[in-house]
Structure 1
Amino acid sequence: MNLNFTKMLFINTIMIGVMMAVSSNNWMILWTSMEIGVLSIVPLMTQEKMSSDSPIKYFIIQSISSCMMIMSISSMTSMINFKILLTQAMMIKIGAAPFHTWVLSIIEGIEYYSMFILFTLIKIPGLFTLSMLNEQFKYWSIMSMIIGSIMVMNQSSLKKMISYSSIYNLGIMLSSINETQVWTTYLLIYSMMLMMVLSMFSKMKINYLNQLISNEIEMISKTSIWVSLLSMAGMPPMIGFTIKMLILEKMIIKMEILLLTTILTSSILMMYMYMRISFLSMMMFSTLMKWKIFKKSKIDMKILIMNFMFTPLTLTLKSLN
Structure 2
Amino acid sequence: MLLGSLIIDLSGLSLSAPEQHLLTNPHIGGVIFFSRNFQSREQITSLTSDIRMIRPDLLICVDQEGGRVQRFRDGFTKIPPMKTLGEILGSRSEYAEKFIKDCGWLMASEIVACGIDFSFAPVLDLDKDKCQVIADRSFSDNPVLATKAAKLFIEGMHEAGMAATGKHFPGHGGVSADSHHETPLDQRSLEELRGHDLIPFTSLADSLDAIMPAHIIYPKIDLNAVGFSELWLKKILRQELKFDGIIFSDDLSMKGADIVGGYTNKAKAALQAGCDMVLVCNNRKGVIEVLDFLESYNWVPSARLSRMSRQVTLSWDSLIEDDRWKSVNAKLLALPKGK
Query: Which one scores higher on RCO, CA 8 angstroms, separation ≥ 6?
Result: 2
TM-score, normalized by length of structure 2?
0.28
| Structure with more helix by fraction | 1
How does the TM-score come out when normalised to structure 1?
0.29
* Larger fraction in strand: 2
